[in-house]
Structure 1
Amino acid sequence: MPQHQYDVVVIGTGPGGEGAAMQAVKQGLSVAVVERFKKIGGGCTHWGTIPSKALRYSIFQLTEVRQNRLFREAGLSIDLTFPQLRKTAAAVIQQQEEMRRSFYDRNRIPIIAGEAKLLDPHTVMVCEEKGACEKLTADNIVLAVGSRPYRPKDVDFTHPRIFDSDTILDLTYTPKSITVYGAGVVGCEYGSMFRNLGVKLNLVNTRERLLEFLDDEISDALSYHLRDHGTVIRHGEVYEKIEPTDDGVVLHLRSGKKLKTDVLLWANGRTGNTENLGLEAVGLTPDSRGQLKVDGRYCTSVPSIWAVGDVIGFPSLASAAYVQGRAAALHMTQSDAAQLLANDIPTGIYTSPEISSIGKTENELTAAGIPYEIGQAQFKSLARAQITGQRVGMLKLLFHRETMAILGVHCFGQNASEIIHIGQAIMNQPGSGNSLMYFINTTFNYPTMAEAYRVAALNGYNRLF
């Protein structure tokens, strides 16, 4: 069996693995990556972030045409099916895969195809589908193996009307109705998409609020907007059983309710891809959801083994995974640059409209006894939003009453995931550079959505007097 030596072996080519591999090479380390899928990029590129966001944009364009008065008066009517809308993602996926492969080629990082298994803290065995195996030894091993939808054993995912977030993209028709079980990020995003297609939507939430980690006002705005568009949201519900039939799926809830729709999307949690990885050989034990514990450096309890991305759990964002991979590689070489990586990672939730936030919520600041004030800008008052017709939404700034430092930024509305980065940049300025006054004294292009920062800052400043 052939054997090769590297400084770092990375298992997985998703955002976490890519971040670790690229940073390790920049640190002067020899690196190899292992990928079991036939193409690189991980779930993010092939059945998660990229295809779902491409689908969302196609649905957004279709909705824009349907709602545009000019098109209606011209008699233009467009009716596209779910599979037709899904096709737009294929080209994007191919471009992303080719681009990411070029990163490895340019940095002379070998991509080794096959299933990886740990033999000891410094050795990985990789076996191809046809059976050929080779050993890789390394000073450090990075586990960036990602996650997959959690599948309880009592749910028949082989039934053609029951889907999870990986398989829903293969839906061959546009259903008339759908039940989404689980109202986390994935459930809310897909629920928004189907509702925008005119599909009747039951959104079943096992908790008492939508996306409880968000600022209450943003969570409430999402709930209101979904209901205003005809979504039936059921909070605090747990399934008793799921009964598939020839013409639909019946969701039996413990409360006694029965919900029948054409299809059901299971969106209740994810599981780390840690089975068959040989963790027992190195003394690592994942939790009940297949996730691994790491320290602040992203190192496991085994000093030579690191873990990044979805396999370590929250926040399970592609952006966070890439930064975690970089941080792990920097910590391996004890680089001071590791401390420069931002601790605050913005959330990007691609519902309709989008949600994005960074920093503290009102509840967190209140619990910590921090004197804060609020500045708000309603999108409906912005000229750019009036021009585009995207009037739903708001920008909310939380700032310290005495120092004027920005403590949190929360945005709900079109392009929220872009708008948030202006606030993020100011929050990360040292000392007095982080100040509400920056937004008051800065000239913003007009008309733009970025102008919301000036409006919100003035609104908050006026509350101080």
Structure 2
Amino acid sequence: MTRIVIIGGGPGGYEAALVAAQLGADVTVVDSDGLGGASVLTDCVPSKTLIATAEVMTNFDSSYEELGIRVEDSTHDPNDPARVVGVELGKVNRRVKRLALAQSHDITASVTRAGGRVLRGRGRLEPAQGPDGSREVVVTFADDRRDGGAEERLTADAVLIATGAHPREIPDAQPDGERILNWKQVYDLEDLPEELIVVGSGVTGAEFAGAYRALGSRVTLVSSRDRVLPGEDPDAAAVLEDVFRRRGMNVMARSRAASAKRVDDHVEVTLADGRTITGSHCLVAVGAVPNTTDMGLEEAGVRLKDSGHIWTDKVSRTSAPGVYAAGDCTGVFALASVAAMQGRIAMYHFLGETVTPLNLKAVSANVFTDPEIATVGYSQADVDSGRMDAWCVKLPLLRNPRAKMQGIRDGFVKLFCRPGTGIVVGGVVVAPHASELIHPISIAVDNNLTVGQVANTFTVYPSLTGSIGEVARQLHTRKTAEDG
């Protein structure tokens, strides 16, 4: 029986474990925190659960009057018409952690049912290969076990490294878990921050800034770049920044945070230009660092990038024979879906199954702000730089009848297609639940569908997806005119 050892139980690790076990391999997963990893325990699942509460509040606050909903509550402040509901953050966070643990337990049960073995501890790769090409992993068990600190040696025909990443820190803004926080620590808060300073305007910073503003905190978003979400579609980022400002958020562009310190019951954040901002709490969201140190990787022949990420090819192989890697520790795309695909591809490849190499242009991604921003395929930056020759049409949701019914004012649908063939090569959706609306565009990109085929596919009337069909029709009309 083929022996597989997986170090790390996040999406890359547990999905690989399920595939390998189903294909008959002897699978052991070594994990220190609980299956699901940061994605389930401290990142995707918790943050999106928190955002779900914020989304309900935002939708109600922004549309109840227009939709004709009457609010009769003697506790409501008539001088604050925009705030008709409140939040108990402690209760919200307890629900967040409960759901995260439940999801982790479900994943563990799935892996063990499939025949996998789960060890709670940390794995280290030994440098040498055995005569038969096997690898050895030393497991140091977690301290809360009866045999905490004890070790076990595992022999594997293949090893998958899926250890994820942890929050990057600013040297002069060390989290204390109470007033200065990273994105793992926010779920321990019992009371809503009165004024939250969010340092970092990438995906994580923007998501938390929007969520806490919706929950009722005064929020200052500190961005070192010209705009929020500098890595996203510029039109989408502009819509979101406009929404943030309209909802009362203080967005500070071109403002790099140099330090944060706790002073009594508040936090002072000092910017690089000497300005100081004061708030009740500070959330530092300035990226992530791969968990690749003290694992014996380089000694075992695993090549690391300057950033500490593991180099991999398109079938998840590292530079060391018999060692694969998946997930955030590879620095490919920090997405749970990509990690899971990398893990599955690794197992399919090693176990001799048919495998399709990782195709990043078919990856759909979503920013869970309000409105959401979903993307797939080639981007506006690719078109503007000349990396992809494509036509583009953008249609505001204001023209969509379902959006009018629901009181949706912000957002759009954008499609990119090749001039000659009309093949759809990318798309952007900015809308409530854009993560659901991007799927038909993802199917078109992945299957090389043309704008004509998308345009001639029925959509429900009225629906937000109708705008996807309308954009495709506009591009198809342009192509037809060019061909004529």
Q: 1:74 aligns with which of 72, 75, 78?
A: 72
> Could you say which residue in structure 1 is the equivalent of 2:472?
457
Question: Are residue 12 (structure 1) and residue 30 (structure 2) matched?
Answer: no
Equivalences for residues 239-258 of structure 1 within 5 A: 239-258=257-276
Question: Cα offset for 1:58?
Answer: 1.1
Question: Are residue 125 (structure 1) and residue 132 (structure 2) matched?
Answer: no
* Cα contact 2:361–2:376 (8 A) shared by 1: no
Aligned length: 457
> Could you say which residue in structure 1 is the equivalent of 2:94?
87
Question: Cα offset for 1:292?
Answer: 1.7
Q: 1:25 aligns with which of 4, 21, 25?
A: 21
1:161-220 CA-to-partner distances (Å, cap 9, x unmatched) read 100000012122112211111111100110110111232222112223332332221222
Question: Cα offset for 1:44?
Answer: 1.0
Letter in 2 for 1:126: V
Letter in 1 for 2:140: C
Question: Is the alpha carbon distance of 1:286 and 1:339 closer, same or farther for their aligned partners in structure 2, counting shifts above 3 Å?
Answer: closer
Distance in 1, matches of 2:311 and 2:170, equals 23
| Most deviating of 49-58 and 374-383 | 374-383
Question: Cα offset for 1:411?
Answer: 0.8
Question: Are residue 436 (structure 1) and residue 454 (structure 2) matched?
Answer: no
Question: Is the alpha carbon distance of 1:263 and 1:66 closer, same or farther for their aligned partners in structure 2, counting shifts above 3 Å?
Answer: same
Question: Are residue 373 (structure 1) and residue 371 (structure 2) matched?
Answer: no
Distance in 1, matches of 2:326 and 2:388, equals 32
1:34-92 CA-to-partner distances (Å, cap 9, x unmatched) read 1112x321111111100110111012123333342355433374321322222332442
Question: Are residue 237 (structure 1) and residue 255 (structure 2) matched?
Answer: yes
Across the aligned residues of Structure 1 and Structure 2, the Cα RMSD in angstroms comes to 2.2
Aligned to 1:336, what secondary structure does the other structure show?
A: coil
1:262-318 CA-to-partner distances (Å, cap 9, x unmatched) read 111000011112233233541446456542222222222212211110111141111
* Cα contact 2:315–2:358 (8 A) shared by 1: no
| Most deviating of 130-139 and 178-187 | 130-139
Distance in 2, matches of 1:292 and 1:160, equals 33
Letter in 2 for 1:450: T
| Most deviating of 319-328 and 233-242 | 233-242
Equivalences for residues 202-281 of structure 1 within 5 A: 202-281=220-299
Distance in 2, matches of 1:425 and 1:188, equals 28
Question: Are residue 186 (structure 1) and residue 204 (structure 2) matched?
Answer: yes
Question: Is the alpha carbon distance of 1:178 and 1:369 closer, same or farther for their aligned partners in structure 2, counting shifts above 3 Å?
Answer: closer
1:89-127 CA-to-partner distances (Å, cap 9, x unmatched) read 244224322321232122101111212122235111112
Structure 1 gap ranges (5+): none
Letter in 2 for 1:168: V
| Most deviating of 71-80 and 264-273 | 71-80
Question: Are residue 158 (structure 1) and residue 176 (structure 2) matched?
Answer: yes
Distance in 1, matches of 2:332 and 2:360, equals 16
Question: Are residue 360 (structure 1) and residue 372 (structure 2) matched?
Answer: no
Aligned to 2:138, what secondary structure does the other structure show?
A: strand
Question: Is the alpha carbon distance of 1:343 and 1:406 closer, same or farther for their aligned partners in structure 2, counting shifts above 3 Å?
Answer: closer
In the superposition, the TM-score normalised over structure 2's length comes to 0.88
* Cα contact 2:96–2:187 (8 A) shared by 1: no
| Most deviating of 233-242 and 171-180 | 233-242
Aligned to 1:73, what secondary structure does the other structure show?
A: coil
Equivalences for residues 92-107 of structure 1 within 5 A: 92-107=99-114
Question: Cα offset for 1:135?
Answer: 0.8
* Cα contact 2:170–2:259 (8 A) shared by 1: no
Identity percentage of aligned residues: 26
Q: 2:118 aligns with which of 65, 87, 111?
A: 111
Question: Are residue 393 (structure 1) and residue 411 (structure 2) matched?
Answer: yes
| Most deviating of 310-319 and 383-392 | 383-392
Aligned to 1:455, what secondary structure does the other structure show?
A: helix
Distance in 2, matches of 1:109 and 1:339, equals 25
Question: Is the alpha carbon distance of 1:173 and 1:369 closer, same or farther for their aligned partners in structure 2, counting shifts above 3 Å?
Answer: closer
Equivalences for residues 269-348 of structure 1 within 5 A: 269-284=287-302, 286-287=304-305, 289-339=307-357, 343-348=361-366
Distance in 1, matches of 2:24 and 2:165, equals 29
Letter in 2 for 1:80: V
* Cα contact 1:147–1:310 (8 A) shared by 2: yes
| Most deviating of 404-413 and 192-201 | 192-201
Aligned to 2:40, what secondary structure does the other structure show?
A: helix
Distance in 2, matches of 1:169 and 1:17, equals 24
* Cα contact 2:222–2:257 (8 A) shared by 1: no
> Could you say which residue in structure 2 is the equivalent of 1:425?
443
Letter in 2 for 1:56: I
Distance in 1, matches of 2:440 and 2:345, equals 23
Letter in 1 for 2:195: S
Question: Cα offset for 1:393?
Answer: 1.1
Question: Cα offset for 1:373?
Answer: 2.0
Letter in 1 for 2:462: P
Question: Cα offset for 1:148?
Answer: 0.9
Question: Is the alpha carbon distance of 1:149 and 1:371 closer, same or farther for their aligned partners in structure 2, counting shifts above 3 Å?
Answer: closer
| Most deviating of 6-15 and 386-395 | 386-395
Question: Is the alpha carbon distance of 1:256 and 1:456 closer, same or farther for their aligned partners in structure 2, counting shifts above 3 Å?
Answer: same
> Could you say which residue in structure 2 is the equivalent of 1:36?
32
| Most deviating of 406-415 and 72-81 | 72-81
Distance in 1, matches of 2:38 and 2:274, equals 36
Distance in 2, matches of 1:246 and 1:290, equals 37
Letter in 1 for 2:40: T
Question: Cα offset for 1:21?
Answer: 1.4
Question: Cα offset for 1:153?
Answer: 3.3
Question: Cα offset for 1:365?
Answer: 2.1
Letter in 1 for 2:120: A
Question: Are residue 57 (structure 1) and residue 55 (structure 2) matched?
Answer: no
Structure 2 gap ranges (5+): 77-83, 130-134
Aligned to 1:338, what secondary structure does the other structure show?
A: coil
| Most deviating of 95-104 and 122-131 | 95-104
| Most deviating of 205-214 and 190-199 | 205-214
Letter in 1 for 2:457: T
